[in-house]
């Protein structure tokens, strides 16, 4: 662990059970982190909130956007209603080495008055959501949930690996959990070999091999990856001999 990444290395891996998929405005899809999980991680590293870390609100305002409704030729008496965005700027503080107070500043934003599914909506919890957003953004530069922000959660193999690591750390019977995971990997390797044996082309065979080796490599199962590669080579050579006969 590097001195410069001493915090990052403790908080960069995220428990998949503390996340959920979401679809944002414009159809953007991503992975959201449960706010309480981040706060617990901060507490584990810095100490209780208010004692080892916390925040101060620096700025709290509403920003007005474009019109959602305005007078028209057909409805000249229509009231003008503009979109509004709640903005909150906070300074997050935590006690670093030797009790030194360290700070990070960032903003949180939440639509307050907005247009959705043909209706003008008001979110009365905008302030709370902006605070949650700001806290998460302040923790991000420190490395909290870095694997999500770096896009690693888009890789199913990575998520499976982290899920197994978390299950191992939480297991009451660690040996039993290790045995379960070992058997699960052996079953996976067998299924891959059986699938390769039924491949209809060299391209299909290579694709099955590459996907499996990549997955096992991420899971640090070097022996499993080598076994898949040896089986791929054996099947490829056998097929070439048959074609040459």
Half-sphere exposure of 103 (CA within 13 A, CB side): 9
The two three-digit tokens of residue 81, written as one number: 């209603």
Q: What are phi and psi of 143, to 5 degrees?
A: 110, 0
Half-sphere exposure of 121 (CA within 13 A, CB side): 12
pLDDT at 166 over 70: yes
Instruction: Say what the pTM is.
Output: 0.75
Measured from the Cβ of residue 129, the count of other Cβ atoms closer than 10 Å reads: 18
The two three-digit tokens of residue 129, written as one number: 């959501």
d(CA 83, CA 111): 8
133 exposure class (CB count in 10 Å sphere: 0-12, 13-18, 19+): buried
Q: Which domains does the chain have, with CATH numbers?
A: 8-147 (3.30.390.80), 157-244 (no CATH)
Per-residue confidence at 242, pLDDT binned at 50, 70, 90? confident
Measured N-to-C along each axis, helices 156-170 and 174-197 cross at an angle, to the nearest 10 degrees, of 150
Summarised one tens digit per residue, pLDDT across range 169-219 is 888 888 898 889 889 888 999 999 999 988 888 899 999 999 889 888 888
* Low-confidence winner among 49-53, 128-132, 237-241 (lowest mean pLDDT): 237-241
Do the beta carbons of residue 73 and residue 67 sit within 8 Å? no
């Amino acid at each position: 662990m590097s001195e410069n990444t001493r915090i990052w290395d403790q908080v960069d891996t995220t428990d998949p059970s503390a996340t959920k998929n979401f679809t944002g405005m414009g159809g953007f899809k991503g992975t959201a982190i449960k706010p309480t999980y981040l706060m617990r991680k901060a507490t584990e590293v810095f100490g209780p909130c208010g004692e080892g870390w916390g925040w101060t609100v620096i700025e709290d305002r509403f920003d007005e956007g474009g019109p959602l409704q305005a007078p028209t030729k057909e409805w000249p008496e229509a009231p003008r209603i503009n979109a509004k965005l709640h903005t909150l700027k906070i300074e997050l503080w935590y006690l670093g080495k030797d009790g030194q107070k360290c700070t990070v500043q960032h903003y949180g934003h939440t639509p307050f008055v907005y247009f959705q599914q043909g209706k003008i909506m008001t979110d009365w919890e905008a302030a709370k959501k902006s605070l949650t957003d700001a806290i998460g953004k302040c923790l991000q530069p420190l490395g909290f949930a870095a694997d999500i922000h770096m896009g690693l959660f888009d890789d199913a193999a990575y998520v499976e690996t982290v899920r197994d690591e978390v299950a191992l750390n939480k297991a009451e019977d660690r040996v039993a959990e290790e045995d379960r995971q070992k058997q699960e990997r052996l079953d996976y390797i067998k299924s891959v070999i059986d699938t390769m044996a039924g491949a209809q082309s060299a391209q299909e065979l290579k694709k099955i091999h590459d996907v499996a080796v990549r997955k096992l490599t991420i899971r640090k199962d070097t022996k499993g990856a080598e076994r898949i590669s040896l089986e791929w080579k054996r099947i490829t050579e056998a097929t070439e001999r048959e074609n040459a006969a």
